[in-house]
């Protein structure tokens, strides 16, 4: 991916992330996780550590999601302001 980014292949990067979300990839992850749970012997300390790690990851993801929502909100405000300017320019130039 780094090589593609250096060559500005935005479409390839999008395809890569779409592939990560694909049903096939999700199936492989699910099978891998199931195999780990069936073959690994976790004690109570391991389970507690996994649980705490999951809580931290979930908290971080929610924070990131909130930041992205705020970024989207600010971008929508900018889009609305730019559309208003375009409308004013078109109206002042007599363009319909």
Is the same domain home to 24 and 50?
A: no
Position 96 scores a pLDDT of: 55
**What residues make up the domain containing 31?**
1-40
Helix (H, G, I), strand (E, B) or coil at 41: coil
Tokens 């109570």, residue located? 44
What is the reported pTM? 0.54
Interatomic CA distance for residues 47 and 15, integer angstroms: 35
pLDDT tens track, the chain, 96 positions:
566 666 666 666 666 666 777 777 777 777 777 777 777 777 889 889 989 999 999 999 999 999 999 999 999 999 999 999 999 999 988 765
Provide the domain count of the chain.
2
Is the same domain home to 26 and 47?
A: no
Helix (H, G, I), strand (E, B) or coil at 52: helix
Is the same domain home to 49 and 94?
A: yes
Is the same domain home to 63 and 96?
A: yes
Helix (H, G, I), strand (E, B) or coil at 7: coil
Tokens 């078109």, residue located? 90
Is the same domain home to 69 and 95?
A: yes
């Amino acid at each position: 991916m780094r090589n593609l980014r250096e060559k500005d292949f935005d479409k390839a990067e999008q395809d890569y992330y779409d592939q990560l979300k694909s049903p096939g990839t999700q199936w492989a992850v699910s099978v891998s996780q199931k195999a780990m749970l069936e073959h690994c012997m976790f004690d109570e300390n391991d389970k507690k550590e996994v649980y705490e790690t999951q809580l931290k990851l979930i908290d971080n993801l929610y924070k990131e999601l909130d930041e992205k929502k705020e970024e989207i909100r600010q971008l929508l405000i900018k889009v609305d302001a730019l559309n208003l300017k375009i409308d004013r320019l078109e109206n002042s130039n007599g363009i319909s």
